[in-house]
A and B are shown apart, each in its own frame.
Chain A
Amino acid sequence: KAGVTQTPRYLIKTRGQQVTLSCSPISGHRSVSWYQQTPGQGLQFLFEYFSETQRNKGNFPGRFSGRQFSNSRSEMNVSTLELGDSALYLCASSLDGREQYFGPGTRLTVT
């Protein structure tokens, strides 16, 4: 069974731009979560989607948003990028929200 895939793997953007990251979960998994990892803050929860509905949200500004499609694929969007948004963004999928499996991540650099 294929694992969680994330695209793109690397991205360089300029302050003020917006970015969209994509995540395809393990086949059959309906829960997709997003996490941000930075050296200063560690791994932090962004949001979780289940059956196209956001059912949990972390403490991030409204510039961070996401959605989930009917095939369980998910996208997250960051608008008006700031230097502090440079991070590794990790997506995780889960059958029911318990055990989570992570993708390889998207490394975003904002200049």
Chain B
Amino acid sequence: GIQVEQSPPDLILQEGANSTLRCNFSDSVNNLQWFHQNPWGQLINLFYIPSGTKQNGRLSATTVATERYSLLYISSSQTTDSGVYFCAVSRFTGTASKLTFGTGTRLQVTL
């Protein structure tokens, strides 16, 4: 199956700093999502980005599918950005879907 690696595994930032989270995957995919898991466990959709670049406020993401990686940028980080960020991919065939998740990047933003 597809392997998904995320880096770094842990990240500590001061409020206001910028960061880049990386997701590498081992095979071609046509689905890629970034999630933020809140302290209660819910996965919050950040981006659906099988290719290209998207921006949403302080967050942006880029996926280069041909080179099998995606990047999540967080600018001017806030304490509310703390939590675990997951990248998940799939090879959607039109008849079935199964997301394979990375192991996540645990982000802590301090004052």
Residues of A at the B interface (CB closer than 8 Å) are: 31, 33, 35, 37, 42-45, 48, 50, 55-56, 58, 88, 90, 92, 94, 97-105, 107
Contact across chains for B43 and A98 when beta carbons are under 8 A apart: no
Chain B: how many interface residues by the 8 Å CB criterion? 22
Q: Please name the residue on chain A nearest to B95 by beta carbon.
A: A55
Residues of A within 8 A of B100 (CB): 45
Q: Are A97 and B92 in contact (CB under 8 A)?
A: yes
- Interface residue SS majority, chain A: strand
- Which secondary structure dominates where chain B touches chain A? loop
| CB within 8 Å of A: which B27-53 residues | 31, 33, 35, 40-43, 45, 48
- CB pair A56–B96 under 8 Å, yes or no, is yes
Give the A-binding residues of B (Cβ under 8 A). 31, 33, 35, 40-43, 45, 48, 86, 88, 92, 94-101, 103-104
B48's nearest neighbour on chain A, judged by CB, is: A99
Contacts of A43 in B (CB 8 A): 86, 88, 101
What separation, in Å, do the CA atoms of A55 and B94 have in the docked complex? Answer: 11
- In the assembled complex, the Cα of A103 lies from the Cα of B95 at a distance in Å of 22
Min C-beta distance of A5 to chain B, whole Å: 11
Closest beta carbon of chain A to B111's beta carbon, Å: 28
